[in-house]
Amino acid sequence: MIHRKEREMGIPEPDWRVFKEIRAVALDRFSRRILNECRTLCDDDAVSAHEHYLKLYELIHKRDEEMGQAFDDLRRSTAIYCLMTMWQLGLVTQAELNRFSPDTVHLVMRDN
């Protein structure tokens, strides 16, 4: 069970080390996903160059918001929230999630 003081401090130190490893992998996955979405969008010959630009701009803006929620605030106190966002975006596998303590896994999975 995570006590109040630990919750205020963030995830336990062992989970923090795992988080930093998994965060790097998830960031690479998300970046690749976004680049693939951009390629697919730009390969659509049915729209004009300007329409490509507008759709690309919209996609990048949306993904940038998601990326910020998942990756921009690297602190122990925000790691659970970031991990939950990564999980919801499908950037963390079940095997990777299982590397965390049962309390951390429970917190991530409680809203899913």
Q: What is the pLDDT of residue 103?
A: 93
Residues above pLDDT 70, as percent of the chain? 90
Does the structure show a pLDDT above 80 at 1? no
- 8 is a domain residue: no
- 55 is a domain residue: yes
- 74 is a domain residue: yes
pTM of structure: 0.85
- 100 is a domain residue: yes
- 6 is a domain residue: no
Question: Residue 49 belongs to what domain range?
Answer: 20-109
Average pLDDT over residues 59-74: 95
Count up the domains in the chain and report the number. Answer: 1
- Render pLDDT for 5-27 as a digit per residue (tens, 0 to 9): 444 568 999 999 999 999 999 99
Q: Which of 93, 101, 110, 94 is nearest to 17 (CA)?
A: 101
- CB crowding 57-70: b at 16 or more within 10 Å, else e: eeeeeebeebbebb
- 47 is a domain residue: yes
- 57 is a domain residue: yes
Does the structure show a pLDDT above 90 at 80? yes
The per-residue pLDDT of the chain, averaged, comes to 90
Residue 103, number of CB atoms within 10 A of its CB: 17
- 62 is a domain residue: yes
DSSP character at residue 97: H
Listed in sequence order, the DSSP H helices in the chain are 4-9, 13-42, 49-71, 79-88, 94-97, 102-109
